[in-house]
Each structure stands twice: as C-alpha cells, then as structure tokens.
Structure 1
C-alpha cells in the first residue's frame, strides 16, 4: 500500500478529515498514454490543489502538473479508480486498494469544499450566474483602468527616485554647512524636499491601494468569466462531436439503403427507367470521351456474333463463365480442407485515434510510431501477396486466344485486388528492412510468390510470382502515405508487370489511391479513387479503368468502376463495368455513334453492346469474419505457421504473432523492441557508409537486398527491383546462412 502522509494530523478526525492547511501525500497510478499505460506518480494534496511528481525528490524543483480542486469534478470509477475533470481535461488515477482509493476521494472532496468556501462569493453585480455579454465591455474598461493605475505607479516611482536623490544631496550639503551663516536656509530647503518626498510616497501608496482594490473587486468576476468560457468550449466540443456522429450515422444508413432517402423524385425516375430494362447508362469519364452503352437487340446480336459462335457466347469465351464457377467453388473448398479457416477473435480494445494522430497532421504515416491497435496481424508484404486471391483470372487469361479478351480479364484482376479492403481499415505492419514473405501454392493453384522489403524510408517492397499455368507477375511498390486530419491517403507508387509465357504479351499498370475517412470521429471507412491505365506493351492495346470516388450527392452506385478496352488504333471493343468490392462485367461493343452533349459540353459516344458477361465475382467472407479483422479465406492462411521458411519471413515476427493471438500489450512491447533494433542497425550502416566515404570509396550502397536487384526496365524505363533468383533453391537445401538476423 502506498504511504500516505499528513503534515498537520488531526487526532480528533482520524483517517479522513484534513485541516485546510494540511497536506495529503502518497503514490497513485496515473494514466499517461496507451504505449505506457498507467505510470506510478507521487501525488500531493495541499491548499486545494493536487500536484503530482515522478518521484518524491522532484517535489523541490519539478512539478509535472497541478489540478485545482475548487473547479474540479471528482468521480469514482470502477474498483480503485477515480477520475478528476478540470478545465476540460480528465485525469484517470488508480490506487492500489479500495480503502486507499476511498481515503483519497474523501480527502479531495473535503479539500474541494474548503477551497470553494475560501473563494470570494460576491462581486459588484451580486450575480452568481455566468457573465453576460454586456459585462465584457465592463471588463475591458476595468483592464484599461488597471493599465492607467499602473502608469500612475510608474510615474510615482520616477518622482520618488528623483525626490529621494535630491533629498540625499540636500542632507549631504547640510552636513557640510553645519555652523555656517547659510545653515537656516539650507535646513528650510531640506524640509521642503522632505515634504515633497513624503507627498510623493503617499501618492504612491494610495495608487497601490487603488490598484489592489480594483484588482480584488474584479477577481471574482474574472474567475467566473474564465470558468464560463471553459464550460462553453467544452459544451461546444461535445455538440460538434455529437453532430459528427449523427452525420456519420445518416451517411452510413444512406449508403446501406439509398432508396429510402431519395424521395418521390427517385421513385418516379425508377418507374420511367423500368420501361427499358435493357438499357444501361454510364456517366462520362474524366479525361476521356464520354460514353453511353445500350444493349443491342436480339437480331443485331445474332448478326454480329454469328460467325464467332464456336468461340464466343454473347462476346465472351465459353470457358470464362465455366472457369469462374469452377474456381469460386472447388478451389475454395480445397483451400479450406488444407489450410486453417479461423484465427483468434479480435479483442475489444478501445483507443482514441485522434489523441495520437492530432500532432501528426501532414507527416508521412510510415514514420509515425503507432500501437498495434491500429494494425491488423499481417505485414505489408502479406497484404501485397493477398492481391493473388483471384489468380484464377490470370489462369483463364493465359488460355485466351484474343488479346482483347485477355485484357478484360487482366483488368478484372487489377480491380479484384481491392475487394479485400472494403472492411479492412486497419494498417498492416510496416515490414523491417530485409523482411521477406513467401507463399507457396504450387499444389493448390500452381504458383509461388516471394516478397522482400528492399527499403525502409521510403518503405518499398519487391514482389515476384511465377505460375505454372502460364504467367509471371512482378512489382516494385513504394507507399506514400499522408495524414490530413480528417482522412489518411495512401498512394502506391510503382508499376505492376504481368507477362504471359505462350504469347509473350506483357501488361503494365499501377494502383489507385486508397483513402481512410472519419479519422477524427465516426466509423472508419475506406474508398478507392483514381484511374488505372493498363497497357499491353506488346500489342499497344489499352484499358482505362475509372474508380469513381464516393460522393454523398451522387446517384451512382457506390464504389463504381467503369472502363473501355481499346486496340492500338483507339477503337473501343469492350465496355467494363462493376464495383471494386463485388464484381466486374464486360460487354462487347457492336456499334457506336455520337450522342448528345455531356454536362460540360462534351459530346458523348453511344456504344451499342451485347449482353454483359460476368468476369469476376467476389468470394463471400468466412463465418465470423467481423471478429477476425474481416479477413478473407486466403488472408486467414497468410500468417499460418509453416516449416522451412526463411528466418526473415513475416510469419516469424513476434509482435505480429502476439497480436494475432490477442496479446496486444505484449505485442506492443515486441514492436517497440524490433523498431529500436532497426534504428540501431540503420545507425551502424550510416557509420559504415561514412567510413567508406572517408576512405575514398565511391557509389556506396546503404543496403543491398538479398533476393532482388535494382535495374532499369527496358520497356518502361523505370528503376525497379526484379527477382535475382535463389530463394526457392535456398529453401530446398535449407541454406539460410546469408539471411540477416532481423527478429
């Protein structure tokens, strides 16, 4: 039990009652922040104030904070807990026992009552309510009066100095002329100067008294005005927070059921649109020719597609829909039979994101130390690998004879990688420099994937995938993330490269911007926005996908994606449509014409298409996904323990493993340890680089990745990291001697 001391004990009131002038001292635990939790502090209760120090020794020189009890609210929480609220700030304290907590509460309540009694209870107006608006002008007048009194005091001070010096000179002269003829006149002069000095001193004293009277008379008014302003500010903050919550609730409700909030105008428009169920309309795309699609009639469909019936059905190969059903069913069952299908439920830890992020506005998010509460138990390397969840789209694309149909499937694959993010607002772990991650799915899906963190600042990862089903994918992605106060924007920089083995067709594209909204208050939600330009560098065919940003006032379907597939001459062949969180469809164009002008005077192109065909459909989430970080079936297996992986693999990170098990406090400790170790290693590399420069060496590389090498891409001209080989051979021989020790 903490030691509790009274400087002025009261034998007649044992244990609880303290004299006003007494002090009450002891150890309490004060909540500091999430990273450090409750910290032991030395508290002193004296003269209506609660002060706290880190140690007893600090009492003589460093006070860490003071809480005035006269205006504080004292609340007893759960066992051994108490909360002091003063000036809009709350102090959470914890004692070691219930009895000790009760003693502190009783002492503070009595000190608060005594401090309240000592405060002046009357002012010039006699009004104990809040200071009205008209009193503010009076307060300004009082301030001017006090300023004038201070000027009077300054003037009196100067006069006293002058008269005092003159009096001193006269006394010295009088001493020298003692006994002379002029002595009576000198004495008279000294008396006059002494009189002036006394008059000036009296004026000084009177001015000081006036200043003190005015200050004391207004002290109570100022205290009330200050308290009123604090209460008003606190009330305003609560009101704004409540409005933000209501706005967020309405917005979420509208997103879930927009038809319930659009009124009569929307229902009338819906009735009119029912007259032509075959027509589909899309908004004009920015920076490209606007278009409208209209489904072709049956006779036009047979006329245009009759020559291709052996290969296509409605403009889409027969094996597209066949393989889609096969992949979404059989392969997923096989995955669940051989891999784990659940992880421990996520603990219900509450944490105020704004309390940690408010001082980080405008900073690079990767440089902000964050507790694991804002993470999910996967690293960025594993999130990058998760793009392969719908690798069957690339398997189907490898079997396509038409490059335009192949482009449609590649576009659907590029959209499918965002479907896992719709509920995933948590931040993945930042990989350590040299950290790797492998995903061996040769038996299930025919591919092998390996990632490596090749740079820490800026964070950059290299990824290489080789499939036995006819394709290879590689990418070098750098993450540029910024915190803007109300939202976080994550901009992936770098290109994704895909090459099909049989045809040699190579596709290049980049990722769009991800934005996490409602950082300050409300439920977090994520949006994807921007354009993806997919280019077949072999045939020069292109596809531009537009991810429409969410708008509260838009009538479009949320998370909408549209696109056009064009050949090298710019002729459109396919229209793509769907949403990035659900599905994508393609419709073959059979005719086009110029339509009416758009909203900005641009002329839209009207495309007549065949019936759209499904390219991709999102897998349903596993049962209980909301308690497992909304992980998909693939994501649940990414951190599953496997034998034989490299010692730098993300599965071996202690902080990530502890967080997945629900031990978040232990995970935070391990996370801090790993980050500190990484900082030490970075300093060592800096010292080595400086030594090398002093020795005259040039072109010093600060860090050299183990499995990837930097080179200039012949097609795009970008500097990128590509797989140098050797990882899977090292795994087969279990020779990891060249791997650094990072965990």
Structure 2
C-alpha cells in the first residue's frame, strides 16, 4: 500500500494547507457531484488512501488556482486544510478505471473515484489546471519588471486608450452629423405624397436611424467611463507597485547590512582566535578583506546545488547480511581496474559578491539565468546524473537475489545512496548545451556502460541510459531539474521517473526523486536537506517500498537526515523495515510479527512490528584525502572529467569552459562560457527562423531531434519520454563521429 502524503500549513480553501494527519503518500478517491471541468474551481468527493489500517477514506477535494487541496469534510474548508498538491510540478497518472495517482515533490497520492466517468472528469480538470499552472509559472519566471519600464508601459497604454477614445469621439460626431442629415431627409420624404405602404417604410427607417444615433452615443459614453475607471485604477496600482518596490529595496538593504555584520563578526572571531593561537596564516588572508563592499561574502562557500552523485568502490557484503540466495555468485571474470586519476587541481580562493547576483534571482527558474563559473563545480549536469552509479554493486547484488522482497530492499538502498555526497556537494553543475553527451564506459572493469544526452534545453531535460551485462540490469531515467530561489533557500525539484529492470527475473522498478533544499543562500554556511517520500513499485509483482525522508527540524529529537521505510507485498502486508540516514548508511530488518499498539501523537492507532536484528544494506564510502579542496568530490567524481580518447565530439569532457575551470583559470572559463551560451542562442535563433520560413511556405519542418534518443510512450507509466535508439557504442568502435553537431 502507498505511504501517506502531506501538505503545508493552515490556510483558506484552495490555498496551501497544513500537514495532513493521514501520513504517507496517500491513495484516494471516490467522487460525487462536481462542477463541469474548465471552470476555475472544481470540487467533489474522492476516496484517498490514508494508511495500511484505514485504507481508503472519503475526503472533500477542491481544485483551484493550480492547487488541489483536500479536507475531511466540507465544513473544514473554513479552517483546516489537510493537504495540498501543486499541480505545476505534479505527475498525473491512472492505474485502472477509477484510480488516479498524483506524484509531486517526492510524495504520491492515490485517489479513487466512484465511477469511471467521475474519474475521467477529475483527470480532465486536473490536466487543464496543470497546463494553466505551468503557463502561469513560466509567465512569472519571464517577468522582470523595473520601476521605469512598468511606469512607461502603463503610461503608454493609457495614451493609446486616450487616442482611441479621440478616434471614437470623432466617429461619433460624424455619425451624429450624418445621422441628423439622414433624419432630415427622411422627414422630408414623409411629407411627400407617397402610397401608404411607402410612408410606413420611411417611418420605420427613420426610427431605426434614431435608435442608431442613441446607441452610438451610449457606446461613446461607455468608452469614456472605461477610460476614467482605467485611469483611477492605474494610479492606485502605481501607488501599490511603488510601495512594494520600496519594501523590496528596504529588505535588500537590510539583508545586505546583515550580511556585512555577519562577516564582520566572523572576521573578528577569526582574528581573536588567531591571536590566541598565535597563528599568522589567517592574518595574511585578512589582508585581502579591506574592501567590505566587494569582499564581504568571502566567508561563504559559494556553492549552489546539483543532483545526487555516487562512485563505485568495491563493496563487500557478509554472508549473514542477506539470505543465501543473495550471496555473491561468481560470474564473468572482469579485467583488472584501469588506473584512474585520484586528484584534480585545488579550487582557487575566489571572492564574489553573492548578493549582487542572487538578489535578482528571487522567484526565478535558475536554469534560465546566466551564472558565472564561481557558482559551479567543474562537472556538467550529465556527469552529476551519472554519479548515481557510485554504488552500482547494490544493483549487481540485487540482480542475484531470488527473493523479490530482498531485492526491493537493495533497490531502496540504492535509491537512498544517490544522495550520499550532497551533504558537501553544494556547488552548481554546468548546465549542458543542447546535444551535449556524456559516456561512462566501465564495461571492462565493472560490466556496465552509461550514456547521457541533453535532449531539451528549456526546461533542462536529460536522458540517462545504463546497461550492465554482469549480472544483468538496465537503468534509465529522464530527468528535468526545476529550481526556484526563494531568498533564504533554493528548492530543487527533479521531475521524471527512474526505471530499473533486472534481465533474469524481469522485475521492473519505478520511482522518483525527492525535493532537495539548499539553505543559507545569502548568510551563513550552505547546507542541504532532502525531504519527501519515495514510492518504489515493482511493476511485475506489485510489491512496494515506501521511503520517507524526514526534513530537518531544530526541535526534533530524531537523527538528522533520517530515512525510514516499509517493504510490502502486493497485498499490503509489510515484510521489511528500512532505517538509516541518506548521508551514511541504510539497514533492513525482517518483520516476524506485527500487532496494533497504542495511539500515536495524532490519536491514531499505531502498528508495532517485531523484527530480527537489522542487516547492513549500504554504507557510504569515505571521501578522498584533500577532498575539501577539490570541491568535496568523491573518488568517482574525480575521474568523471578525466580526458579520454575516442569519446564523441559532444562529450562533456571536451567542453572548454569546464576544462578551464578545473585547471583553475576561472576568468578564461567565464569568457568561454559566455561564448558557448551565445553560440547556443544563435543556433536556436537559426532553427526558429528555419521553422518560420517553412511554415510560411507551407512546407513540413522537422523539429530538433536528439542524436541518440527518441521519444516513445512508456507502457508502464503511460508517459511520453525518451528511449535509447542505439548506435552510440558502434560509432565509438568505428571512430566515426561525423554525425555529431558542432556545439563547442
């Protein structure tokens, strides 16, 4: 069964709601009467999955402004929202005739309608609301108002309205003039001796001409009233806008002053510490801090965030840790490991006024904002995605498991391990160029090969395909990274499903990543938290694993970065309890008995599990020596950008700005980065011009197509996504890259 979902805090109906007491990623829904789809608000009853004990429960759902909120009763709409789903970042799926599955921010909600017709009405309303929410989000991201431009635009609009009103007034005068002449002529006609029937017709025409003059006058008066109203509201809006600008300026000045004070305190503390310890080294460093206006952010580690990464040290399981069916079985002999580099040049000590850049990014999609390499680490997003394979041994071991439930435990540990190095890796990776690729060929050493390609630029979307022939599994994922800077923190929402299939058993697992949050963007030391729920589903056996990433709380007694989970069979019966932290290790404990315990903090009856001793599933590898001066790279990360012969001409290793940054030549790297971005924009303009010319001529125009992947509808999730079309490794063997575009 699914784990329960939750919302945000208490609000009015159809706004953000408070944490749902139902708990995990819910399932839900049966609906009764609801308004017709297409209206701004859509309401009705649905059944929502709450937990293993209560199953589906009837809830009142309200869809409004791109948010789907739910309540226990309609009366609760006035005071308590039980949860809210933002449809702009949600995935909508259908399981059967009556079920709806919503996935958003690592949470999954299972809803059930009473009939197939009701289900279809809700799906239609949700899809329309999602499309509208995405449009609104994009419009907001594109807005960059300035005080002068706003005022000029409003004044310009008013001038146009006044001009049009003058035109209407002129037309009205002409209508009145010609109308009066027409009526005089008609009156003269009425005085003539004409047959009775003709006189009646002339009289009718005269009445219609009078009505026409009255209507035209009314239209002009209405236009004048509209202009007066527009002028009144314009002045009111200008005053409100000016007030908001003043408040924003005041807030910026306050935060800037706070940052300076924070820096002064930190410098004073360092100096006091150095005097006490007799240290001279830091005093020399302080000599560069004389100009507070440009240097006051030098104490902040200027690193943003990038998705999880991993490496591939040999990892040994003891035979007692899992059943005999999971013990290692010797397969094909792999060749000795190639000697790869173990260090890169130390990171230069560059200062940067962070606030001068970030203050203009609040509320924006960061992938659309050019950033200097000072925010980056010398790896691309494609290379960071490949780092998910650091603990690939977990999948090798899982492939040899005869028990699908034990296999699920290892898959769950693998999904958690992908976050292990994000504790320190807070720097932003390079945004890939359209058509950029990255290969990780470890076939001879570890039996797998991985290929990534950037398939779409806006939104940033990449596809990763990994194949292992020893002992046999395939991993693929289509990832879109959506990020928003909120002033104090940065939210990163990876969208897209991850698929894993084992060749021998045919077990096919699907899950999605949780939301990552980078805190202390402006003041203090950056740190990252992972929060949300992951639901892993074995689509062959319908077994599930519900993982919960607990958000950090200063007042919580729990271990920081805590992860808990339950592995259940297709009937919802729990078999394993998972526990650990996403930055250190994961353990599994087999359930031998379960019973109902006392009430929990929310008055709900808890289930108490009796388990065997926990077994270690995964343990994080220590970072290499001197990692703090090498961007906190893991052993795998140190090798990812190592030059290799024979790779495609679009491979990230050949990207010049990234290579210059790795070598410590940051000024040259920034210049090269600007050149590459302008080259990419010019290519996009050429494609748009070609498309426009083709449409004007009535000819067909084929949109940009990735080189190694093509789109296809997924039979499991129902989504249209990219799949590997083949041919890359064959081209590498032939040393033929003539088909590659010139992107660098």
TM > 0.5 fold call: yes
Match for residue 462 of structure 2?
A: 461
Match for residue 416 of structure 1?
A: 417
1:398 aligns with 2:399: yes
Q: Which structure's CA Rg is the greater one?
A: 1
Match for residue 599 of structure 1?
A: 601
What CA distance in whole angstroms lies between the structure 2 residues aligned with 1:473 and 1:234? 49
What CA distance in whole angstroms lies between the structure 1 residues aligned with 2:717 and 2:250? 61
By how many angstroms is 1:233 displaced? 11
Match for residue 489 of structure 2?
A: 487
By how many angstroms is 1:318 displaced? 4.7
Contact 1:315–1:587 under 8 Å retained in 2? no
| SS in structure 1 of the partner of residue 446 of structure 2 | coil
Contact 1:321–1:614 under 8 Å retained in 2? no
Match for residue 664 of structure 2?
A: 662
Q: How does 1:43-442 map onto structure 2 within 5 Å?
A: 238=257, 242=261, 316-318=322-324, 338-442=339-443
By how many angstroms is 1:405 displaced? 0.3
After superposition, the Cα gap between the structure-2 partners of 1:551 and 1:637, relative to the gap in structure 1 and judged at 3 Å, is: same
| SS in structure 2 of the partner of residue 338 of structure 1 | coil
By how many angstroms is 1:319 displaced? 7.3
Q: Could you tell me which runs of 5 or more consecutive residues in structure 1 were left unpaired when the two chains were aligned.
A: 1-229, 251-310
Match for residue 192 of structure 1?
A: none
By how many angstroms is 1:702 displaced? 2.9
What CA distance in whole angstroms lies between the structure 2 residues aligned with 1:386 and 1:707? 20
By how many angstroms is 1:598 displaced? 1.2
* Deviation string, structure 1 residues 260-293 (Cα, Å, up to 9, x no partner): xxxxxxxxxxxxxxxxxxxxxxxxxxxxxxxxxx
1:547 aligns with 2:549: yes
What CA distance in whole angstroms lies between the structure 2 residues aligned with 1:371 and 1:437? 22
Contact 2:439–2:451 under 8 Å retained in 1? yes
Match for residue 691 of structure 2?
A: 689
After superposition, the Cα gap between the structure-2 partners of 1:424 and 1:538, relative to the gap in structure 1 and judged at 3 Å, is: same
* Deviation string, structure 1 residues 355-395 (Cα, Å, up to 9, x no partner): 10101111101011100010000000000000000000000
Match for residue 615 of structure 2?
A: 613
Contact 1:686–1:702 under 8 Å retained in 2? no
What CA distance in whole angstroms lies between the structure 1 residues aligned with 2:733 and 2:477? 24
Contact 1:530–1:547 under 8 Å retained in 2? yes
> Which of 566, 582, 585 matches 2:584?
582
What CA distance in whole angstroms lies between the structure 1 residues aligned with 2:576 and 2:264? 43
| SS in structure 2 of the partner of residue 526 of structure 1 | strand
By how many angstroms is 1:697 displaced? 3.8
What CA distance in whole angstroms lies between the structure 2 residues aligned with 1:246 and 1:562? 39
What CA distance in whole angstroms lies between the structure 2 residues aligned with 1:653 and 1:735? 19
| SS in structure 1 of the partner of residue 726 of structure 2 | coil
How high is the TM-score relative to the length of structure 2?
0.57
* Deviation string, structure 1 residues 43-73 (Cα, Å, up to 9, x no partner): xxxxxxxxxxxxxxxxxxxxxxxxxxxxxxx
* Deviation string, structure 1 residues 522-571 (Cα, Å, up to 9, x no partner): 11111111111100000000001111111111111111100000000000
After superposition, the Cα gap between the structure-2 partners of 1:232 and 1:558, relative to the gap in structure 1 and judged at 3 Å, is: closer
> Which of 520, 523, 527 matches 1:521?
523
After superposition, the Cα gap between the structure-2 partners of 1:231 and 1:436, relative to the gap in structure 1 and judged at 3 Å, is: closer
By how many angstroms is 1:322 displaced? 7.1
What CA distance in whole angstroms lies between the structure 1 residues aligned with 2:696 and 2:372? 40
Match for residue 287 of structure 1?
A: none
What CA distance in whole angstroms lies between the structure 1 residues aligned with 2:504 and 2:252? 69
Contact 2:467–2:475 under 8 Å retained in 1? yes
Match for residue 269 of structure 1?
A: none
After superposition, the Cα gap between the structure-2 partners of 1:447 and 1:245, relative to the gap in structure 1 and judged at 3 Å, is: farther
Contact 1:449–1:466 under 8 Å retained in 2? yes
By how many angstroms is 1:701 displaced? 4.3
Match for residue 513 of structure 2?
A: 511
By how many angstroms is 1:237 displaced? 5.9
By how many angstroms is 1:719 displaced? 1.1
| SS in structure 1 of the partner of residue 631 of structure 2 | coil
Match for residue 724 of structure 1?
A: 725
1:706 aligns with 2:712: no
By how many angstroms is 1:317 displaced? 2.1
By how many angstroms is 1:619 displaced? 0.7
Q: CA RMSD in A?
A: 3.0
After superposition, the Cα gap between the structure-2 partners of 1:360 and 1:236, relative to the gap in structure 1 and judged at 3 Å, is: closer
Contact 1:424–1:630 under 8 Å retained in 2? yes
By how many angstroms is 1:321 displaced? 7.9
Contact 2:350–2:374 under 8 Å retained in 1? yes
Contact 1:491–1:514 under 8 Å retained in 2? yes
What CA distance in whole angstroms lies between the structure 2 residues aligned with 1:231 and 1:474? 48
Contact 2:328–2:400 under 8 Å retained in 1? no
| SS in structure 2 of the partner of residue 614 of structure 1 | strand
By how many angstroms is 1:443 displaced? 1.5
After superposition, the Cα gap between the structure-2 partners of 1:732 and 1:609, relative to the gap in structure 1 and judged at 3 Å, is: same
By how many angstroms is 1:686 displaced? 0.5
Q: Could you tell me which runs of 5 or more consecutive residues in structure 2 were left unpaired when the two chains were aligned.
A: 1-248, 270-316
Match for residue 651 of structure 1?
A: 653
Match for residue 144 of structure 1?
A: none
Match for residue 737 of structure 2?
A: 736
After superposition, the Cα gap between the structure-2 partners of 1:351 and 1:321, relative to the gap in structure 1 and judged at 3 Å, is: farther
What CA distance in whole angstroms lies between the structure 1 residues aligned with 2:702 and 2:487? 36
| SS in structure 2 of the partner of residue 577 of structure 1 | strand
Contact 2:380–2:432 under 8 Å retained in 1? yes
Contact 2:328–2:397 under 8 Å retained in 1? no
| SS in structure 1 of the partner of residue 664 of structure 2 | coil
How high is the TM-score relative to the length of structure 1?
0.57
By how many angstroms is 1:323 displaced? 9.4
The list of structure 1 runs, each at least 4 consecutive aligned residues, that deviate by more than 3 angstroms after superposition, is 230-247, 311-315, 318-324
What CA distance in whole angstroms lies between the structure 2 residues aligned with 1:245 and 1:597? 51
* Deviation string, structure 1 residues 124-147 (Cα, Å, up to 9, x no partner): xxxxxxxxxxxxxxxxxxxxxxxx
Aligned residues: 446
| SS in structure 2 of the partner of residue 555 of structure 1 | coil
What CA distance in whole angstroms lies between the structure 2 residues aligned with 1:323 and 1:569? 31
Contact 2:259–2:522 under 8 Å retained in 1? no
